[in-house]
Amino acid sequence: MAEEADAAMTDPVTDDSATPATPRSGSATSGRAAVGAAMVEPVPAARTGSGGGLDARPEDSGAGPGDSRRILLLVARREVTARLRSRAFQVTTVLFVVAIAASVLILNAVGGSSSTRTVAVAAADGRQASAIVAAARSLDTEVRIRTVTDAAAGRAAVLDGDADAFVRLTAAGGGYQVSVKEDLADSLASVLTVAARQAALEGQITTLGGDPATVGRAIATAGVDVDTLRPAAHRDGARLALGLLSGGLIYIALLTFGPQVAQGVIEEKSSRVVELLLAVVRPWQLMAGKVAGIGVVALGQLLLIGVVGVGLGLGTGELDLPAGIAVGKVAVALLWFLLGFSMYALLFAAAGALVSRQEDAAGVTSPMIAAILIPYVLGISVLPASPDSGLINVLAMIPLFAPILMPMLIGIGSVALWQVLLSLALTLTLIAVLVWLAGRVYGNAVKRSGTRVSIRDALGGT
Amino acid sequence: MGDGRLVIDGVSKRYGEVVALDALSFEVRAGELFGFVGSNGAGKTTAMRIVLGVLAADAGEVRYDGVPLDLAMRRRIGYMPEERGLYPRMKVAEQLGYLAQLHGLGPVAARRAVANWIERLGVADRRDDEVQKLSLGNQQRVQLAAALVHDPAVLVLDEPFSGLDPVAVDVMSEVLRERRAAGVPVVFSSHQLELVERLCDRVGIVRAGRMVACGPVEQLRAGGRGLLVVDAPQAGADWAGGLDGVRVRGREGSATLLELAEGVDDQAVLRAAMATGPVREFRHRRPSLVELFRDVVSNSDATPGAAAPHTGAETGTSAGLVEPTSTASSESTVTPSGGRSWPRRRMPR
């Protein structure tokens, strides 16, 4: 009996298929009756391993690198599933995407109605068409000409909404007769006024015996030649917007997902599940898996927002950049987010390990929150007015600020390559230091429950 | 090698000035239910956490099967921490599957094991509920399932019976017996001493970080100072008060409970009783585990010295599967000097 018991001892875990075959099948058997059932099945399998359980382990159950990868993957996958299931995450993701899509589409709708106008012109007034287009070009307004057969067709086009206005020369020849449905848009009124004056001028030149075409050429070639003494770099609104937007999104993502790392650590401490986990998982595996899992979710969310935003922006023409550059900027922004998240997530994980209750989280995470907030606030308040601010350029060198400021500067285009590379190197160095530091603090503090662990204790050792 | 024993060997732990464990030693054999008792703060939880590697010992080591425990081996331990811990917002089946996989099971085997255990422990209909939505009793069942789901080679359970209703206590007892029958060394701590007495093959009583008594329940009881029960209905209230070396410990109905000092002749007591009139009952009663425990724990100057010398206990008892009464033949480590008065024995430090 004793010998059989010994044999049955041998690692039933080894053989996956044998595992559930052990005694559970007989659910309500008394202890005594279960003996028989328990003994019978595992014995043959168990015999293979000379009685001692240790040599019969599955190949990856040791503490080798393969095992580490498996554990990390398990931990990270749990984090991903937990985040994706969370109602808050689902709602914010949908809101983000809707907000980005809506703002691009609204911009497009508003801009679209003001920029392109359709003017109906009777075939008989063909010359006016080119005059109107020329006037529109000089005023930076887009006007399309729709040629109609006669006045009746022109009015019908306006009433049907096919044209914004129908234009005829007045009988006197000194201006336009314009028919609109309700009112004449300001931009179109300016265009038509310029064109009408041009028409009147040409009429007068003809009357005086001159050639309107010659006069027109002479006027067109006369201009102002500007000599720029200190040229400013080319700026445009789209780049500034893209820069600020990517910096802003990284800011929001860091502020959303960073504290979630701390929360996750505290949840494991406060629910005491960490006790169960640390019996089978090394502390660094638990920390790294959590950071990786939450990082993947955050990156996915940003990627989704980026793809929707840039895709719609390019599609509607609202984002006035070559597609390659826009995609490149998004990729750079995502890279900076990854770097920033690595730094902050490690800090948040270490901070979370110091306390045992969610209520105490604010006390340990506020320094990181401040470090995320400061560059964002400075960036959005300084950069729109002075995109090449020296202050921001210097602050962007600081690793903890770089993930928010660098994407802004890179988007705008007001930073030198060496600055980017230097900042990148500093950031990577800090990440390496933090991996060691946070791992140490986390490993020492996460097992201690109850009062807040001081950083000195956590760094000191066991 | 190969004996499947869990050996705690001279484990010490101090927190600053406080000594939590002082060279604590005991062993749990394959197929043995070991009850770990002691008052609050005696060091039970600390010892279990050290076994699981959640806490590092200052000295000593823990071996299974003759080999010091490492992480890979600890994955084969089923552990129920004193402060229950599960992810509150994770679903029951998912949570158990996750823990099973962390312990080394493949996904398919994990799913099957989970299905088996939640069925067995009566929480199958809650498999897709979040743990925090379960009643405390059901959370306990899930916690037990978490300790068992990877078919552990060793079970270490800290207060597994606390907070269980009587039905759950029965289920838990049955599961523990069954694991014992499968040859698993099972150690659990409890304050429910009647339960420990009924269930365990051997018991260890720990006080202030040291093992003060360790052995089969029957043997501990036999070794402990028993009481003499004398029922002499016509005797006066203090008929025994004047006898030399005899202390009156209480009354049960008309019977008097007497404690005899070493060397006192019980026949003299019987004669004294008969002198008062008829004697209906005269018997020695072994102390219950509760009485033993009180004796050990309340007696502050009983300097403990009788830790479990597992080296001496290795002389191959069949242990394991036999009922506690039969194991009584194996040695108790309480009374190395053979004296019956272990709770009062003084040992020079």
Tell me what pLDDT residue A58 has: 41
Report the pLDDT value the prediction gives residue A344, as an integer from 0 to 100.
96
Q: Which of A20, A58, A282 sits opposite B71 (nearest CB)?
A: A282
In 3D, which of B25, B30, B22, B21 has the Cα closest to residue B7? Answer: B25
B93 Cβ contact list (under 8 Å, min separation 6): B114, B115, B118, B127, B128
Distance CA A40, CA A53 (A): 18
Helix (H) or strand (E) holding B98: helix B92-102
Cβ within 8 Å of A, B 1-40: 1-4, 30-31
> A11 vs chain B: nearest CA distance in angstroms?
6
| Mutation site for B-interface testing, chosen from A276, A447, A449 by largest number of B Cβ within 10 Å | A276
Q: What is the DSSP letter of A173?
A: S
Residues in A closer than 8 angstroms to B74, CB to CB, are 279-280
Cα distance between residue A346 and residue A342, in whole Å = 6
Are the C-beta atoms of residues B117 and B145 closer than 8 Å to each other? yes
B349 three-class SS: coil
Do B83 and A268 count as a contact with CB atoms less than 8 A apart?
no
Around Cβ B133, how many Cβ atoms within 10 Å?
Answer: 13
CB of B204 within 8 Å of a chain A CB? The answer is no
Minimum-distance CB partner of A61 among B75, B87, B146: B75
Q: Is B345 on the interface with A (CB under 8 A)?
A: no
- Residue B233 DSSP class: T
> Would you state the pLDDT for residue A63?
54
Return the pLDDT at A104.
Answer: 83
Task: Provide ipTM, 2 decimals.
Answer: 0.72
Cβ contact B52:A279 at 8 Å? yes
- Other CB atoms within a 10 A radius of the CB of residue A353 amount to 29
For tokens 């893209």, the residue is A242
Chain B residues with CB under 8 Å of A274 CB are 85
Nearest 5 degrees, angle CA A280-CA A281-CA A283? 135
Residue A429 is encoded by which pair of tokens?
């160095």
Taking the C-alpha atoms of residue A387 and residue A409, their distance in angstroms, rounded to an integer, is 8
| Distance to chain A for B105, nearest Cα, Å | 7
User: Hey, is B330 helix, strand or coil?
Assistant: coil
For residue A177, the model assigns a pLDDT of 84
How much is the pLDDT for A375? Answer: 95
- For A244, other C-beta atoms within 10 Å of its C-beta total 20
Q: Which of residues 104 through 143 in chain B touch A, CB cutoff 8 A?
A: 104-106, 108-109, 112-113, 116-117, 119-120
For B50-68, write each residue's pLDDT tens digit.
999 888 899 999 999 889 9
Assess contact for B239 and B264: CB atoms under 8 A. Answer: no
What pLDDT was estimated at residue A446? Answer: 86
Residue range B183-232, pLDDT digits in tens: 999 999 998 888 898 899 999 999 888 888 888 888 887 776 778 888 88
Q: Exposed, middle or buried, A233 (CB in 10 Å: 0-12/13-18/19+)?
A: exposed
Compare CB distances from B182 to A38, A271, A278 and report the shortest one's residue: A38
Please name the amino acid found at residue A305.
Answer: I
- B260-266 contact pairs (CB < 8 A, 24+): B260/B228, B262/B340, B262/B341, B266/B228
B296 has pLDDT over 50 = yes
Q: Measure CA of the first residue to CA of the last residue in chain A; give whole Å.
A: 44
Distance CA(A366)–CA(A263), nearest Å, equals 13
- C-alpha span between B91 and B195 (Å, rounded): 32
pLDDT of residue B315: 33
CA A273, distance to chain mean position in Å, is: 33
Beta carbons within 10 angstroms of residue A96's beta carbon = 20
- Give me the mean pLDDT over the B276-294 stretch: 82
- How far apart (Å, rounded) are the C-alpha atoms in residues A303 and B11? 53
User: What's the fold here for domain A112-215?
Assistant: D-Maltodextrin-Binding Protein; domain 2 (3.40.190)
Average pLDDT estimate for B78-86? 88
How far is residue A135's CA from residue B320's CA, in Å, rounded to a whole number?
A: 103
> Which segments of chain A have a pLDDT < 70?
1-64, 111-115, 171-174, 230-236, 450, 461-462
Position A234 scores a pLDDT of 56
In chain B, the residue whose alpha carbon lies closest to the alpha carbon of A71 is B102
CA A284-B149-A356 angle, 5° bins: 40
Which tens digit of pLDDT belongs to each residue from B100-116? 999 999 999 999 999 99
Q: At what angle do helices A323-354 and A237-270 cross, to 10 degrees?
A: 30
Ramachandran angles phi, psi of B86, nearest 5°:
-145, 160
* Strand-pair partners of B19: B14
B334 vs A: CB within 8 A: no
One-letter amino acid at B61 equals E
Cβ-nearest to B54 among A63, A74, A278:
A278
- Bridge partners (DSSP) listed for residue B158: B189
Percentage of the residues of chain B whose pLDDT score is greater than 90:
38
Q: What is the mean pLDDT of chain B?
A: 80
Burial class (CB in 10 A: 0-12, 13-18, 19+), A232: exposed
DSSP-assigned letter for residue A406: H
Contact residues, chain B, for A273 at CB < 8 Å: 85-87
φ/ψ of B269, rounded to 5, equals: -65, -40
The minimum CA-CA distance between B102 and chain A, rounded to whole Å, is 6
Pairing between β-strand B59-64 and β-strand B6-15 as defined by DSSP bridges: antiparallel
Residue A196's pLDDT is what? 85
Nearest to residue B143, comparing CAs of B162, B167, B125? B162
Superfamily of domain B6-216+295-342: P-loop containing nucleotide triphosphate hydrolases (3.40.50.300)
| Identity at B318, one-letter amino acid code | S
* Token duo for residue B237: 């209230």
pLDDT digits (tens, 9 = 90+) for B263-280: 788 888 888 888 888 888
What per-residue confidence (pLDDT) applies to B224?
67
Nearest-CA distance A456 → chain B (Å): 16
Distance, C-alpha B29 to centroid of its chain: 13
3-state secondary structure A191-256: HHHHHHHHHHHHHHHHHCCCCHHHHHHHHHHCCCCCCCCCCCCCCCHHHHHHHHHHHHHHHHHHHH
From the list A8, A17, A61, the residue facing B72 with the nearest CB is: A61
Q: Which of B28, B20, B27 is nearest to B59 (CA)?
A: B20
CA gap B97, B118 in Å, rounded: 11
Range list of H helices, A116-185: 126-138, 151-160
Kindly report the nearest CA distance between residue A254 and chain B, in angstroms: 23
The answer to whether the Cβ–Cβ distance between B151 and A12 falls below 8 Å is yes
The full set of domain ranges for chain A reads 71-85+253-460, 112-215
User: Pick from B152, B315, B258: which is nearest to A280 by CA?
Assistant: B152
Q: Which of B4, B83, B105 sits opposite A19 (nearest CB)?
A: B105
What pLDDT, on a 0 to 100 scale, did the predictor assign at position A436?
Answer: 92
* Interstrand relation of B59-64 and B67-68 (parallel, antiparallel or unpaired): antiparallel
Nearest to B318 among A1, A81, A273 (CB): A1
Q: Which residue in B71, B81, B104 is closest to A13 by CB distance?
A: B104
Q: Is A280 helix (H, G, I), strand (E, B) or coil?
A: coil
What are the structure tokens assigned to A104, written together? 């691009």
Nearest chain B Cα distance for residue A365, angstroms: 22
- Count CB neighbours of B115 within 10 A: 17
Mean pLDDT of B136-150: 91
Which residues are CB-contacts of A451 (< 8 A; sequence separation ≥ 6)? A356
Q: What chain A residue is nearest to B107 in terms of C-alpha separation?
A: A16
Cβ-Cβ contacts under 8 Å, B67 against chain A: 54
The answer to whether the CB of B166 falls within 8 A of the CB of B99 is no
- Packing angle of the helix pair B136-148, B92-102 (nearest 10 deg): 30
Q: Encoding tokens for residue A237?
A: 């609104």
Beta bridge partners of B91: B130
